[in-house]
Amino acid sequence: MDAPSLAASLQEAVPGASIEVVPSIDPQTTIYVPRDHVPALARQLRGRADLDFALLAELTAADFWPREPRFELVYILVSIRHRLRLRMKVRLHADDAHVETVTGIWPAANWLEREVWDLFGIAFDGHPDPRRLLMPEDWEGYPLRKDYPVQVRKAANTAEPLQMTEAEFRANVMRDRLVR
């Protein structure tokens, strides 16, 4: 399916969603979609037999500071059945950087969304586990933002490694086996 046909099909399936097809230097189709229509479009991309984008291969972001909209989310989707790849992008303003989660559509989005939140500060509304993934819990700021200070000299407040005897370790293993 070519890019204009894909956009027309999605436009018909999700009325009101303005889908912008952009030229690409590779054979992968690239579209921009509005933030508020991401879940509806994702359901169409995943669920329709003529599309069947069953694999979320990657989810990342880019910071174009000081430009507005500042952020772009980039979803890389794959339809194995139809041998298609799609790059779906979402523009987000710095003061309103959030989008609805797609973890219910593509479970692989779980950790990818946590990574984007942790490093860029882009929130995913309704995410089932919005804890930090890469940075320590007490970390302040988002290291992949362009305005993040690069000369940070902060020691992370992490816990010391757990020390236990061989007997304590064996007791824990045996207890865990009994619980299951």
Give per-residue pLDDT as tens, 72-113.
Answer: 999 999 999 999 999 999 999 999 999 999 999 999 999 999
Which sequence spans correspond to the domains of the chain?
Answer: 3-155
Question: What pLDDT shows up at residue 19?
Answer: 92
Rounded Cα–Cα distance for residues 147 and 163 (Å): 40
The predicted pLDDT at position 171 comes to 85
pLDDT value at residue 124: 97
Whole-angstrom distance, CA of residue 17 vs CA of residue 41: 8
96 CB-near residues (< 8 Å, 6+ apart): none
In whole angstroms, give the CA distance from residue 88 to residue 38. Answer: 9
Least confident of 19-28, 85-94, 162-171: 162-171
- pTM comes to 0.81
User: 151-170 as b/e, with b when 16 or more CB fall inside 10 Å?
Assistant: eeeeeeeeeeeeeeeeeeee
Q: How far apart are CA 7 and CA 129, in angstroms?
A: 32
20 in Cβ contact with 31 (< 8 Å): yes
* Contact by Cβ (8 Å): 86, 105: no
**Burial profile 123-140: b = 16 or more Cβ within 10 angstroms, e = fewer:** bbeebeeeeebeeeeeee
**pLDDT tens-digit readout, 105-162:** 999 999 999 999 999 999 999 999 988 889 988 888 899 999 988 765 666 666 666 6
d(CA 138, CA 164): 26
pLDDT at 40 over 80: yes
Could you tell me which residues come within 8 angstroms of residue 46 by beta carbon, excluding any fewer than 6 positions away? 52, 53, 54, 105, 106
**What's residue 159's pLDDT?**
63
Q: What is the CATH class of 3-155?
A: alpha beta
Q: What is the pLDDT of residue 160?
A: 64
